Amino acid sequence: MISGVVLAAGASTRFGSTKQLAEVNGKPLAQHAVDALAEVGTEELLVVTGYDAEMIEAALTLPAGGRFVRNPDHRLGQSSSLAAALHAIDDRSEAAIVLMADQPGVSTPDLRALIERFRSTRARIVRLAYRDGPGPALLSREVFAEAGHLTGDVGARVLMASHPDWVEDVDVDAPAPRDVDVPEDLERA
């Protein structure tokens, strides 16, 4: 079983409003990550909310098997949302693909490539490697405990930097999808 995780708990301070709800191509920004994970066929999908949780949960449509996980510690940063997701994942899950709610443009074929590489290598971490930098990653159950103990406004990149031998890259011959951090980024998205 492969799980999907969307981290959507942040306060969007640079954006000036709840960016997870900003419209991109006719739907909320966070819905793009949800849809990508649903299309790739994750058997479980978790969306971590925190800041403006009620509004975000009301705006998103989850597939069968999808559920929201509230992070009461979202103010402590991204690591607390990752921990909340990893603690809520089904015990049968072998791995989880982690996507940010503010990064539209991650393609279904790229996510399938993560799953295929994990299944063929059983690597602890499988990461998309775009021409201009790293992208989303799949974390195997082997690293859930360590990833769940990260602190601060950091994600699994800290874990990858500390254990480069755990990382299996999937090369993608395209530029990395860009985060939406400020309203001007919506035009690009």
Domain spans in the chain, listed from the N-terminal domain onward: 2-188
Residue with tokens 């500390």: 162
Of the candidates 186, 143, 132, 188, the one whose C-alpha atom is nearest the C-alpha of residue 165 is: 143
Q: What is the pLDDT of residues 18-39, one digit of tens each?
A: 888 888 889 999 999 999 999 9
The pLDDT value recorded for residue 24 is 86
Of the candidates 12, 14, 3, the one whose C-alpha atom is nearest the C-alpha of residue 47 is: 3
79-92 average pLDDT score = 93
pLDDT confidence tier of residue 40, bands split at 50, 70 and 90: very high
CB 180 within 8 A of CB 102: yes
Of the candidates 62, 164, 24, 152, the one whose C-alpha atom is nearest the C-alpha of residue 137 is: 164
d(Cα 44, Cα 1) in Å, to the nearest integer? 8
The pLDDT value recorded for residue 184 is 66
- Mean pLDDT rounded to a whole number for the chain: 88
The pLDDT value recorded for residue 182 is 58
CB 45 within 8 A of CB 30: no
Q: What is the pLDDT of residues 105-156, one digit of tens each?
A: 899 999 999 999 999 999 999 999 999 989 999 999 999 887 777 655 666 7
Q: Which two tokens stand for residue 180?
A: 């939406």
The pLDDT value recorded for residue 130 is 92
Statement: residue 52 has pLDDT above 90:
yes
pLDDT confidence tier of residue 183, bands split at 50, 70 and 90: low
Q: Considering the chain, what percentage of its residues have pLDDT values greater than 90?
A: 61
12-18 average pLDDT score = 71
d(Cα 157, Cα 172) in Å, to the nearest integer? 18
Of the candidates 14, 11, 61, the one whose C-alpha atom is nearest the C-alpha of residue 33 is: 61
The pLDDT value recorded for residue 17 is 73
Domain 2-188 has CATH 3.50.50.60: no
The pLDDT value recorded for residue 155 is 67
